[in-house]
Amino acid sequence: MSQVLDRARIQDIDALRGFALLGILVVNITFAASGFPIHVAEDPAYGSWLDEVVRWLSSAFVDMKFYLLFSFLFGYSFQLQVEAAQRVGAAFRPRMLRRLGGLFVIGVLHGVFLITGDILSVYAIIGLVLLGMRRVKDRTALIVAGAIYAYLFVTLSIASMFLDTSAILDPTTAVAAAQQTTANLAGSFSDVIGEHVRALPTYGLSLLTVQGPTTLAAFLVGMVVGRRRLLKNLNGNEAVLRLIQLIGFTVGITGGVYYASLGGNANTRAVLISVLTAPFLSAAYAASLLRFMHTDRGEDIRRLLAPAGRMALSNYLGQSVATLLLFTGVGFGLVGQVSPLETVGFAVGIFVLQLILSHLWLSNFRYGPVEGALRAVTNATAPSWRRIDQAA
């Protein structure tokens, strides 16, 4: 019975990670499909009511939500790795340093060659902070997470009062820059790489000011939840999950609607509201999926999503390979030629294909392609993906 419960617990986490992958793809694919989102500009070719509705819904319910869930799960898994190392008496720190170093290299290559922007290298850098804080008390970790959001509240509030975003984001200049970016992405591989490199300072500023700090906060909360076994042996009927849904959807949807209605990232006040309320919606999504997966109908969803989450790193990079081939001049060159609704359709199609491939791969191997390589770096051994019929 305990083995069944443990397997369900592991599948819960993997399924949540797989679900987060879909949300991340829905956001990231917009930056691959057009140069306009990168420059926070409206594409005049796609300004119909349907285009506006799709963008609005994405802003309200997807943007800035799923990377938080993914980051929370990173912190949770980090804690599981700490405990696993302690059980076998392994030296955790050097192993994790090698792992984070490998992740940083993968992230840099990913951000230069595959897609505009990258989160893996940021995870690696912030992971060093998490590594240094792994022995702090739960209370301290939560205080630091709260202090991060207090800092963001103060800085973004000041920015919203004194920063004139319209003066910075001139529509004419933004559209011209977006058109140039789109043309570059439609060019040769060297043009695409050049565009990725030129965008690094812009993404670096975003990561320093908002995404990086919130990622660390999510890491710390995930670590604490992992320590307290709060996701272990859930049955879906826990009152706390219903409470998270009630508060999370109320606060999160209110903030998401406000964010979308004010123009998303083009408005500093909207960003402030989203930063403060997005964690609530992320938590509500997670609680809802956890509750549903423990129903008779939901068990199939858990089994469907879990393999994709189990090899999340491979799938995350695979998403970028797919968008590179679909939208840039390296492949079909569809950049700037796909509507917002069609872009979402592509995202769903890519994810469905990844679900199928994840099941097929893990029916033969114990680790995903990139996971196996990173595991070798972590353990300082030769790569081995282990066939499923081999001993553990």
Please check whether residue 109 is in contact with residue 115, taking contact to mean a CB–CB distance below 8 angstroms: no
pLDDT category of residue 168 using cuts at 50, 70 and 90? low
Q: Model confidence over 205-249: pLDDT tens digits?
A: 777 788 899 999 999 999 999 999 898 888 889 999 999 999 999
Average pLDDT, rounded, for the chain: 91
pLDDT at 171: 76
Q: Which of 268, 286, 250 is nearest to 69 (CA)?
A: 286
Rounded Cα distance, 196 and 96, in Å: 29
pLDDT category of residue 264 using cuts at 50, 70 and 90? confident
Query: Is 343 part of any domain?
Result: yes
Please check whether residue 29 is in contact with residue 160, taking contact to mean a CB–CB distance below 8 angstroms: no
pLDDT > 70 fraction of the chain, expressed in percent and rounded: 93
pLDDT at 163: 67
Helix (H, G, I), strand (E, B) or coil at 114: coil
Q: Model confidence over 128-150: pLDDT tens digits?
A: 999 999 999 999 999 999 999 99
Q: What is the mean pLDDT of residues 99-109?
A: 96
User: What is the DSSP code (8-state) at residue 235?
Assistant: -
pLDDT category of residue 2 using cuts at 50, 70 and 90? very low
Query: Is 239 part of any domain?
Result: yes
Q: Per the structure block, which two tokens stand in for 98?
A: 């090698």
Q: Please tell me the pTM assigned to this model.
A: 0.92
Q: Which of 103 and 82 is assigned the larger pLDDT? A: 103
Q: What is the mean pLDDT of residues 281-285?
A: 98
Instruction: Find the range with the poorest average confidence among 76-85, 315-324, 350-359.
Output: 76-85
pLDDT at residue 96 greater than cutoff 90: yes
pLDDT at residue 40 greater than cutoff 60: yes
Query: Is 372 part of any domain?
Result: yes
**Residues 284, 290, 293, 294, CA torsion sign:** negative
Q: What is the mean pLDDT of residues 273-291?
A: 97
pLDDT category of residue 4 using cuts at 50, 70 and 90? very low
pLDDT category of residue 3 using cuts at 50, 70 and 90? very low
Q: Which of 275, 272, 279, 221 is nearest to 249 (CA)?
A: 279
pLDDT at residue 32 greater than cutoff 50: yes
Q: In the Cβ-directed half-sphere of 216, how many Cα atoms lie within 13 Å?
A: 27
pLDDT at 1: 36
Q: Which of 65 and 1 is assigned the larger pLDDT? A: 65
> Can you give the three-state secondary structure of the chain, one letter per residue?
CHHHHHHHHHHHHHHHHHHHHHHHHHHHHHHHHCCCHHHCCCCCCCCCHHHHHHHHHHHHHCCCCHHHHHHHHHHHHHHHHHHHHHHHCCCHHHHHHHHHHHHHHHHHHHHHHCCCCCCHHHHHHHHHHHHHCCCCCHHHHHHHHHHHHHHHHHHHHHHHHHCCHHHHCCHHHHHHHHHHHHHHHCCCHHHHHHHHHHHHHHHHHHHHHHHHHHHHHHHHHHHHHHHCCCCCCCCCCCHHHHHHHHHHHHHHHHHHHHHHHCCHHHCHHHHHHHHHHHHHHHHHHHHHHHHHHCCCCHHHHHHHHHHHHHCHHHHHHHHHHHHHHHHCCCCCCCCCCCCHHHHHHHHHHHHHHHHHHHHHHHCCECCCHHHHHHHHHHHCCCCCCCECCCCC
Q: What is the mean pLDDT of residues 37-58?
A: 93
Query: Is 19 part of any domain?
Result: yes
pLDDT at residue 390 greater than cutoff 70: no
Q: What is the mean pLDDT of residues 177-181?
A: 93
pLDDT at 167: 54
Report the domain count for the chain: 1
- The residue range of the domain holding 42 is 1-379
Query: Is 159 part of any domain?
Result: yes
For 294, residues 6+ apart whose C-beta sits below 8 A from its C-beta are 234, 235, 236, 237
Q: Per the structure block, which two tokens stand in for 336?
A: 């700037």
Interior CA angle at 62 toward 8 and 34, to 5°?
125
Q: What is the mean pLDDT of residues 289-302?
A: 93
pLDDT at 165: 62
Helix (H, G, I), strand (E, B) or coil at 366: coil
pLDDT at 388: 60
Q: What is the mean pLDDT of residues 256-269?
A: 91
pLDDT at 327: 98
Amino acid of residue 308? A
pLDDT at 210: 87
Instruction: Find the range with the poorest average confidence among 261-270, 309-318, 332-341.
Output: 261-270
Helix (H, G, I), strand (E, B) or coil at 161: helix
pLDDT at 391: 46
Query: Is 387 part of any domain?
Result: no
For 144, residues 6+ apart whose C-beta sits below 8 A from its C-beta are 133, 136, 217, 220
Query: Is 302 part of any domain?
Result: yes
Q: What is the mean pLDDT of residues 332-353?
A: 97
pLDDT at 161: 83
Please check whether residue 278 is in contact with residue 252, taking contact to mean a CB–CB distance below 8 angstroms: yes
Query: Is 390 part of any domain?
Result: no
pLDDT at residue 385 greater than cutoff 80: no
